[in-house]
Structure 1
């Protein structure tokens, strides 16, 4: 089956000058949505890549953070996608076929030829997954940044066993703390840890206690309680691992105190500059390392990050298993953003203003 592929497409691109982005970084006070819909070339693919006709996308905080600080003018925004295969590179024939349903994530926001908020997207053929009929396009697109982050934190950093459907758990009953369990990454982390047999302790505001329990949390504590740390330690004195899905406002210190008695390990999603807190290892995780490609923020003077081959292999393993494992994972509650590409900026601004809680914003591009 052949499809007509145009030479140009519509895409949502960054539209802030370097001066505005530096000002946003220093003052943390962005004005305007910082994006526009532009007509750009459909990207050319290499022999080991595929071209995706994007049908649906999910919105993440990393998208507006790129727009406000990191994205050069003209860079295509967006990481998470689902769609159909439109073209297949010569080295991956037989693995993918035109028309296959596909989903995954990419490092949007830095490049003019790669980003999911566009009609077409090129991706490495081995870093995507085939979506079964039991999963909708909207659901599939949520298995991107949030799910990858949860997987890397648990399986590639904290030593949680890979989910093996039908096999006995390898670490039954072992406790783990998922801080801010009601976030999208937190909800996936809760489920992956539970499927691996662990006992999951999480934190959430009282209004989200029922939500995290529905997703499998064994015990939930109000992070605002002044006695929460002591209560967790008393109930789980040997706890030695934590994933900090919030990574701001003292959350990492909270996690470090919980695992301090075991001189444990905390994975964070924002860089505090700390690698150790009173004997507790602090590990900063960026999901983009799984694409195994060096990247730089605010070039030429911003920090550089190396790709990590082991993270890429972990992502390949995760996506290879996901067609089966997805049957046992419940996506976060979804909220549709209407209006296609032209209205994605509105959804991103809701995230920017902190007006999205307990749901995942998704949008159809058709």
Structure 2
């Protein structure tokens, strides 16, 4: 099979200079789509890696942020994929369709906006029969972020049988801020399936959507009385996940849990470790790969290796085939197929035109 593979492939790569990316960072906005389709070498794999023909990808806000600011020129972007295994490393016994997440945008040979990608064989999950390509692509950034926040930071029990038995708490509820986001939807489901009472925030137009994924009660985050209403209704609330992490969202969450000296997990770094008496912890899904990395080197922030996050991803993906039928993907919006059309999806995310849905595109 390896002999039939071509040497080159088509990929969507970054097309912004260092000066343009620094300007985007300073201005907080960008112009132009910043990507182009280019022929590049097919990645070489080690004995611990697999080569995958990419069939379908899902788009995330992190993708356009890498394109605009973080990714060097000529690097393929994107983080999640569904593909058909085409080549195995020496230590990889798997076969058949797999899905997962890769750290696109920082490495010249690792990204999912391409015809082929490489990934560590034990950091992908095998897609069981009955799960569509489009659904399988969604169990990447958003699902992994939800798992990390709940299972490794907020003491929510794991779903899999015999996984960390005796650990995790069901005795207090959890607040999911911005429950209609993809991360919010997966967080609600993971928490509810683990046996927790789930409180969420959303705009009124998304109340029914959020409840359909398992939220016990939903509050309007724009209602000035919402914090007091949540505190009165859930006096034992001591943990929250802020799936928006902009504006006053973290402050909202902190006020809800401060009475119990609770904890808030955020997806963007506010630079604060405490707020209104609550503990604040910023998480980044890319720590699951078990490697140190840096954004905008040599001056940008560095992120240390977190071995326990790497182990958490291995556990999650090893059990996902058994629990995937209990988790519903977010509503999907299918965009036109092909690499060149991904730029349209990135622009939709960049302009804030995607709400309550997950963008998905086929590449084959």
Q: TM range, normalised to the smaller chain?
A: over 0.9
**Pairwise CA distance, 1:362:** 0.3
> Match of 2:108, SS?
coil
Match of 1:39 in 2: 39
Q: 2:220 aligns with which of 219, 222, 236?
A: 222
Matched residue SS, 2:91: helix
**Corresponding position of 1:353:** 351
Q: Offset of 1:171 from its aligned partner?
A: 4.0
What are the ranges of 5 or more consecutive residues in structure 1 without an aligned counterpart?
none
Matches of 1:307 and 1:345 in 2, distance apart?
31
In the alignment, which of 301, 304, 308 is matched to residue 303 of structure 1?
301
Q: Deviations over 1:107-129 (max 9, x none)?
A: 11111100000011100111000
**Of 336-345 and 207-216, the range deviating more from structure 2:** 336-345
- Does residue 325 (structure 1) correspond to residue 323 (structure 2)? The answer is yes
Change over 3 Å in CA distance of 1:172–1:271 after alignment to 2: closer
- The counterpart of 1:149, out of the listed 135, 145, 151, is 145
Shift of 1:133: 1.0
**1:292-325 residue CA offsets vs partner (Å, 9 max, x unmatched):** 1111111111111112100000000000010011
1:138-177 matches, within 5 Å, as 138-164=134-160, 171-172=169-170, 174-177=172-175
Matches within 5 A, 1:204-283: 204-283=202-281
Number of residues of Structure 1 aligned to a counterpart in Structure 2: 362
For residue 2 of structure 1, report the CA deviation from its aligned partner. Answer: 6.4
Query: Which one of 331, 338, 342 corresponds to residue 344 of structure 1?
Result: 342
Please report the TM-score for the alignment, with normalisation by the length of structure 2.
0.97
- Determine whether 1:122 maps to 2:118: yes
- Mind listing any 5+ residue stretches in structure 2 that lack a counterpart? none
Q: Residue 136 of structure 1 corresponds to which residue in structure 2?
A: 132
Tell me the TM-score normalized by structure 1: 0.96
Cα 1:193/1:286, change in 2 over 3 Å: same
> 1:70 & 1:252 partners in 2: Cα distance?
24
Q: Paired residue for 1:364?
A: 362
Instruction: Output one character per residue of 1:37-96: Cα deviation in whole Å (capped at 9) or x when no partner.
Output: 01000000011000111000000000000111001001111101001111110022x2x1
Q: Counterpart of 1:187 in 2: which secondary structure?
A: helix
1:84 aligns with 2:80: no
Distance apart, 1:250 and its partner CA: 0.5
Task: Quote the residue 2:198 is aligned against.
Answer: 200
Secondary structure of 1:174's counterpart equals coil
Q: Is the 8 A contact 1:9 1:120 kept in 2?
A: yes
Note if contact 1:292-1:307 (Cα within 8 Å) is conserved in structure 2. Answer: yes
1:349 match: secondary structure: helix
* Alpha-carbon distance between aligned partners in 2 of 1:282 and 1:3, rounded to the nearest angstrom: 52
Aligned with 2:122: secondary structure? coil
Does the 8 Å contact 1:164/1:196 carry over to 2? no
**DSSP-derived class of the 1:132 partner:** coil
RMSD value, Cα: 1.5
